[in-house]
Chain A
């Protein structure tokens, strides 16, 4: 096991290096300029813009810049944002709690909905409940979040006026008021994200349970006269959840990566909105850091998923 882990980690290094090189080169070749807005200001002479580019090392060859970035990164220096001149790690750390709260809660909501619905639907396939659950699941993952988000805003903020649609990380209230307001403003984004995710999870859980429920050992369990509840919870769900757990583990990076579209619609100051505003401002160090952290998380959680898989299903061995 330890051997396997070590080998996987060593293999991860070249792939991360490759990812970072591709990201860096792509960003360097992409059009755009962080100081583009200065060009349209007649009071800023072009020399000023050129001096800034030279100062921030943007006119050097790409490979030189990459090596410089890599060495700094290894020393734990993530660079600083061109747009705010703040260290990139500070910016990312500022955004993490909000993203964890909103996207994390949405994932929990998704699981809380998908597990019971998926299991119940699979227990009686093609029953009315299953048909309804299926219909909603299909609607759920065919509607993109930007659509459902706007729809909810239109209904609950504009027409009914119940919920605010601008998310504020710095609520001024204290005590119960604070709790109430932070729940109120998070309802819509969490619902949008959670239900979207729940739709696909439901389909997954249903098919996984369906695969297991027909197996001989389940029939044996029932023949032994076991309580139906026990059969489902102990014998079926436990085995059916193995692929689902891997799926959830692979989804974890998005919990840290944020939800770009939803964060933009509700103005949630999370990682996703940091990334999108950095892209719009051509703020290369921030884009680079966020995407690279994301890549690391994907590699890490892939590894975790593989290990979990083996732990849940001892038939799989690590070699």
Chain B
């Protein structure tokens, strides 16, 4: 089925000749996923099916206390200052964005009356503006009405450099926001912007009220009393907060969605460690929910076996990968190693890279190290399903790796290590200190040894490895060695910002204080061109195709070797219903949470 046929089918649905369900069925038959089909219909002006989360309670309240355990305690409650996801989550309990992302990567309105679309004329055909219609009758917790002024204020607040907001980057594409009426705004972009929703939806984009923060824009931002006493639009009213310890809330009787929330009080307790947090939910049932369980799956399975709770596994875009350095880490040029002006002595040979790719036993690492927390993959983009490439595959074969290396002229020397033109296949492989990563490293080292490649393993304390310290040569961004392994995160189902970590102009170097995001220093003109096309492309069907081609280009380069897709794990006490999504905060559906049984 080509693009022409697709458009014909969509037209058929539009004119009523084909039912929505039949269309989705046909798409499934040709290998497209249901969400993808839904997205295409929505884009072409066929209304999205109303988002329906099962919610059984018939009235607000009556659910008793809801107790959440975060092993990293939230330290602040202003979403514009949230350094980590823990702070975003805490702020999200009180503040809300215009819309959220559901598990399939579709937008669900929260403070918006509807999701803008090209069909309604609320998204410009050329991507230069978007019109948001806001939900009517929403009030802040203190009774003030929520209006367009509040939305505009958030943009002004975050983009004032004196405010020191971490969200300032989300709004940099916006040229102006015009107020059409009290509940309608027009966001105008400096250039065509396919990601017109950025800044107003999903994790970290919750809105704060103008009437309370208006006087604290800019340098005085830190003095706002409401930084620690949120007055939002959410389902829970703020009661008390001790930074780094506990956050309390209670039911908001005037919440803008009827019959919600179910729980009478909210408690978010922080601190401790992930394992005991898992224990408090899965084994003793002292708490209802444990956030971000970075715990070995073996332990989780043991804790779950009592039946007091279960682990919720939420697929998202996070993935663990290995980078093969494209530049020479052992030669210094103008005061920096791994300079883009050098070439790696052995890894520049594609046969060596392909062989190493075959020596990574992804399936075993999944089975014996990560369990449900790491799914073997050959892709950089693993989710949402509509952007996952069907063209890639991985294979573990020592024999084939040996064949490849023999064919490329790498001969085994007396020590069993392969060499060619006096260069030996001896590589240094670094990662952060973290038990599963060290096991992973050892598995790869063993396989490489059998193929005549010697790996020297190096592990670096996480706080050093992931720091942005320009003076420290051991950070992941300096990449002063041949191979490294770590995980990268994304919270957005639109991986456009995620994929800019492979473009040429992002190469990390001394000149940009190693802030560049292309760490492997792999450069490809094809990739750059595709990426530029992506940033201009508005049609979701073409974007999906572009994402897949971008992914395939990176993977074919073999400088980035995807290994595992890492879902988010959280602990739920038996009966708790959460509707989690890997594309938004864990608490994005907090108003709809309830308990069964």
For B69, give the chain A residue with the smallest CB separation. A166
Q: Does A227 reach chain B (CB closer than 8 Å)? A: no
Contact at A85–B76, with CB atoms within 8 Å? yes
Q: Does B228 reach chain A (CB closer than 8 Å)? A: yes
One of A125-133, A197-205, A266-274, A299-307 at the interface:
A266-274
Q: Does A24 reach chain B (CB closer than 8 Å)? A: no
Q: Does A174 reach chain B (CB closer than 8 Å)? A: no
Bound complex: CA of A165 vs CA of B488, how far in Å? 34
Q: Does B331 reach chain A (CB closer than 8 Å)? A: no
Q: Mark B146-174, 1 if CB is under 8 A from A, else 0.
A: 00000000000000010010101110100
Given contacts A35-B468, A269-B244, contact A157 B284 (CB under 8 A): yes
Q: Does A313 reach chain B (CB closer than 8 Å)? A: no
Q: What residues on A are CB-neighbors of B84 within 8 Å?
A: 37
Interface of chain B: mostly helix, strand, loop or mixed = loop
Bound complex: CA of A168 vs CA of B268, how far in Å? 11
Contact at A94–B242, with CB atoms within 8 Å? yes
Given contacts A43-B204, A84-B76, contact A36 B467 (CB under 8 A): yes
Q: Does A228 reach chain B (CB closer than 8 Å)? A: no
Contact at B166–A44, with CB atoms within 8 Å? yes
Q: What residues on B are CB-neighbors of A80 within 8 Å?
A: 222
Q: How far is the CB of A30 from chain B (nearest CB, A)?
A: 9
Q: Which of A158, A161, A170 contacts B242 (CB 8 A)?
A: A170
Contact at B497–A166, with CB atoms within 8 Å? no
Q: What residues on A are CB-neighbors of B276 within 8 Å?
A: 153, 165, 265
Q: Does B287 reach chain A (CB closer than 8 Å)? A: yes
Contact at A172–B265, with CB atoms within 8 Å? yes
Number of A-B contacts (CB under 8 A): 157
Bound complex: CA of A158 vs CA of B497, how far in Å? 45
Using a CB-CB cutoff of 8 Å, which residues 97-154 of chain A contact chain B?
A: 153
Q: Which of A158, A169, A170, A274 contacts B279 (CB 8 A)?
A: A158
For A263, give the chain B residue with the smallest CB separation. B271
Contact at A158–B515, with CB atoms within 8 Å? no
Bound complex: CA of A176 vs CA of B287, how far in Å? 23
Given contacts A46-B515, A269-B271, contact A166 B280 (CB under 8 A): yes
Q: What residues on B are CB-neighbors of A84 within 8 Å?
A: 75-76, 243-244
Bound complex: CA of A85 vs CA of B77, how far in Å? 10
Given contacts A32-B464, A81-B75, A166-B286, contact A40 B271 (CB under 8 A): no
Q: Does B112 reach chain A (CB closer than 8 Å)? A: no
One of A10-18, A47-55, A64-72, A289-297 at the interface:
A47-55
Q: Does A27 reach chain B (CB closer than 8 Å)? A: no
Q: What residues on B are CB-neighbors of A33 within 8 Å?
A: 467-469
Q: Does A86 reach chain B (CB closer than 8 Å)? A: yes
Q: Does B438 reach chain A (CB closer than 8 Å)? A: no
Question: Could you pull out 6 A-B pairs where Cβ atoms are within 8 angstroms?
Answer: A33-B469, A36-B467, A38-B83, A40-B466, A168-B269, A172-B65
Additional A-B contacts beyond A83-B244, A170-B267 (13; CB < 8 A): A31-B463, A31-B469, A32-B463, A34-B83, A42-B517, A46-B515, A81-B75, A85-B227, A157-B286, A166-B69, A166-B287, A172-B65, A265-B272
10 tightest A-B contacts by CB?
A46-B515, A269-B245, A84-B75, A84-B243, A31-B464, A45-B169, A267-B272, A83-B75, A267-B271, A42-B497
